[in-house]
Amino acid sequence: MPPDEGDHSVESPGSAIVVTTSPSYAAATPISQLQTPSLQAAMTSQDIYLCTTIDLMAANGTQQSLDYFIHHVECFTLTLIDAINWQLFKEHAALMADRCIILDAAIRALQAIHKGQANGIALTKAASMRPSTTIRRDVRNRAYTQLWPGTEPEAMTFDLLLDENGIASRRIIATFSRHPVSTIDSRIAAWLLIAHAAARRGGNTGLLSSTLRNCLEHHYYAHPLPPVLPTDPRVPLPTEVSILAALTAPIFDMCTRIQIIAGHTADLSHYHRSRITADDQEEVNMLLKQLETQLHDLWKQRTPLLRHDSVQIRESLAAPIAIPFLRQTRICKAMYHTEVVEVGRILSDPPFASDEARVHMRAIRDLVMEELEANNTNEEADKALPVGFLRPLFLHAIESLYEHESTWAIKEMRRIKDSICRSDFFARFAEGLCQAQRAKRRRVTTRWFCLEAFDVTPPYL
């Protein structure tokens, strides 16, 4: 069938690419000149111009999807101890973003920051994507009446996500005090308590005011969380996910309670209160002993799931359930032992780890070795250490009396290789701090050493 009169096509030499020319160009150009070098260069330049223009328009005018946020953005203080609910929350937040432009912009900025940190590139564009304070305040005020009309407790999620400089704290406290709170808001409240403990260490200010923290703690203790966030009943969770959620629920509760105590432990460091008089030290000693007693009592009352032998659990559960469950139990146990060691470091008496603390440090080492052994025997397991062991190893390193012990812990820290939590930085930080402590034969102040050695205060850990 002959081609249309307005269509003139030829095949480029040596390829199957068909080049289509406009009728006017073809009419003015003899067939013998269609394969000349000058014409090929002109056609290539037009192709480059067209492709680059299309790509630029796509980069500037097309909104990226939230798939990266849903599938890749993790919070290293939460993911390994509440992975199922963290994933469900991200999916819920992405659906909320469809109805709220400010939340959509916040998520896009967050995923851009995550991409930048994960790939070691500049965060300039991500910072520019963050909505202005005026827009955030305006949308937050309208959220209660337009975004979720008639469902004020659900709008709590919005405030918890977008709180700016404590503006929403009073409303959050009032809502938790007077209204039934949604399951997702209760879960986020628990996450905030965990994140606050991480953000309070090393002399950092934390995320929550003392009033808001006390409110969220009271709510957490008074209202036990269900194992899993609500899901669409038309799309039930896979069976193994539901079983894993039920098994790990008491583990997450244990981790949350440990971190609540850890937040109060951090309050007693010399960064947050006076420690320069004998009266100061006696008061801190008494308060730390109370917190240490709470830790020990919590451990004595731990769920039976934390008492069983790993081999027996592995033999009793299918691998897709046993592997993540055992990893979470090891991280939970390491978390407990770490906080006991931390109490001794904050107390600073004796100058290095006590005999009791060294028992807990050996327990941390055993848990790390167990995790490494599991990685070597399970093909589905990641070969690197999970980030949940970063802080236990950091404390193990800087509290160790002997160089070979701290060297071992630093070597294991380097296995983690997670740019988001800055694992390589913390390994270098621990190495330098250990060298300084051995040289001075005493503990060296963590925050001031970090400022001296790296010109920054310690990141959250």
115 and 98 belong to one structural domain = yes
* 442 to 342, 350, 386, 439: CA distances (angstroms): 16, 10, 30, 8
Range of weakest confidence among 157-171, 177-191, 354-368: 157-171
Select from 237, 256, 291 the last residue of a domain.
237
Interatomic CA distance for residues 87 and 93, integer angstroms: 10
The answer to whether residue 280 sits within a structural domain is no
pLDDT over threshold 70, residue 239: yes
Q: Tell me: do 205 and 218 sit in the same domain.
A: yes
In the chain, % of residues over pLDDT 70: 80
Number of domains in the chain: 2
Show Cβ contacts of residue 320 under 8 Å, excluding neighbours closer than 6 positions. 240, 244, 380
Kindly indicate the confidence band of residue 62, based on its pLDDT and cuts at 50, 70 and 90. low
Per-residue pLDDT, averaged over 113-120, amounts to 85
Choose the final residue of a domain: 174, 206, 237.
Answer: 237
Contacts of 127 (CB under 8 A, 6+ apart): 109, 113
132 pLDDT band, cuts 50/70/90, is: low
- pLDDT of residue 164 exceeding 70, the answer is no
Q: Please give the pLDDT value at position 350.
A: 75
Nearest CA to 86 out of 308, 356, 409, 324 is that of 324
For residues 55 and 78, state if they share a domain. no
Judging by beta carbons within 10 Å of its beta carbon (0-12, 13-18, 19+), is residue 66 exposed, middle or buried?
buried
User: Could you tell me the sign of the dihedral formed by the alpha carbons of 389, 392, 398, 401, in that order?
Assistant: negative
> Residue 173 — pLDDT band, cuts 50, 70, 90?
confident
**DSSP state at residue 351:** S
9 membership: H or E segment, kind and range = strand 8-11
pLDDT above 80 (res 376)? no
Residue 459 lies in a domain: no
Confidence of residue 118 (pLDDT cuts 50, 70, 90): confident
The pLDDT value recorded for residue 148 is 38
Per-residue pLDDT, 5: 47
Please name every residue paired with 18 in a beta bridge, in sequence order, or none if there are none.
Answer: 11
Q: Strand runs (DSSP E) across 15-163, as ranges?
A: 18-21
* Residue 193 placed within a domain: yes
Instruction: Give the residue, 259 or 66, on which the prediction is more confident.
Output: 259
Decide if 140 contacts 103 (C-beta within 8 A): no
State the pLDDT at residue 179.
67
Q: Is 329 inside a domain boundary?
A: no
Tens digit of each residue's pLDDT (9 = 90 or more) over 9-39:
444 444 444 444 444 444 455 545 556 788 8
Rg of the chain in Å (alpha carbons): 28
Tell which wins on pLDDT, 137 or 70.
70
Q: Are residues 132 and 55 in the same domain?
A: no
**Does residue 276 fall inside a structural domain?**
no
**Per-residue pLDDT band at 361 (split at 50, 70, 90):** very high
- Give me the pLDDT at residue 79, please: 87
pLDDT of residue 108: 84
Residue 347 falls within a domain, yes or no? no
pLDDT classification of 61: cutoffs 50, 70, 90: low
Report the pLDDT value the prediction gives residue 10, as an integer from 0 to 100.
43
- Tokens coding 267: 């309050």
Q: Which residue has the higher pLDDT, 310 or 12?
A: 310
Q: pTM to 2 decimals?
A: 0.83
pLDDT tier at 444 (50, 70, 90 boundaries)?
A: very high
Residue type, 393: L
Identify the pLDDT of residue 378: 53
How far apart (Å, rounded) are the C-alpha atoms in residues 231 and 95?
12
88 and 210: one domain?
yes
Q: State mean pLDDT over 250-255.
A: 97
Among candidates 152, 179, 173, which has minimal Cα distance to 216? 173
Q: Which residue has the higher pLDDT, 163 or 187?
A: 187
40 and 16 fall within a common domain? yes
Q: Does residue 197 sit in the same domain as residue 49? A: no
HEC secondary structure over 202-270: HHCCCCCCHHHHHHHHHHHHHCCCCCCCCCCCCCCCCHHHHHHHHHHHHHHHHHHHHHHHHHHHHHCCC
Give the CA count within 13 Å in the CB-facing half-sphere of 174: 7
Average pLDDT over residues 450-460: 93
Residues 184 and 46 grouped into a single domain: no
Do residue 19 and residue 114 come from a single domain? no
Which of 180, 212, 237 is the last residue in one of the domains?
237
* Residue that wins the pLDDT comparison between 47 and 165: 47
pLDDT at 137: 52
Question: What percent of the chain has pLDDT above 90?
Answer: 51
Burial class (CB within 10 angstroms; exposed 0-12, middle 13-18, buried 19+) of 22: exposed
Q: Is residue 305 part of a domain?
A: no
* Claim to verify: residue 73 and residue 90 sit in the same structural domain: yes
Q: So what's the pLDDT on residue 143?
A: 44
Could you give the CA distance from residue 354 to residue 348 in angstroms, rounded to a whole number? Answer: 10
Q: How confident is the model at residue 149 (pLDDT cuts 50, 70, 90)?
A: very low
Please provide the average confidence, as pLDDT, over all residues in the chain: 82
pLDDT confidence bin for 65, thresholds 50/70/90: confident
pLDDT(129) > 70: no
Going by the DSSP 8-state scheme, the letter that residue 350 receives in this structure is S
Same domain, 227 and 113: yes
Residue 265 lies in a domain: no
Bigger pLDDT: 102 or 275? 275
How confident is residue 166, by pLDDT bands cut at 50, 70 and 90?
low
Instruction: Name the nearest CA neighbour of 80 among 200, 255, 199, 258.
Output: 255
Digit-coded pLDDT (tens) for 378-399: 554 446 899 999 999 999 999 9
Tell which wins on pLDDT, 129 or 413.
Answer: 413
Q: Residue 48 is part of which domain span?
A: 8-61
* Same domain as 223, residue 125: yes
Integer angstrom CA distances of residue 420 from 72, 74, 162, 321, 349: 11, 9, 21, 26, 34
What local confidence, expressed as pLDDT, does residue 145 receive?
Answer: 39
- The answer, yes or no, to whether residue 74 has pLDDT greater than 60, is yes
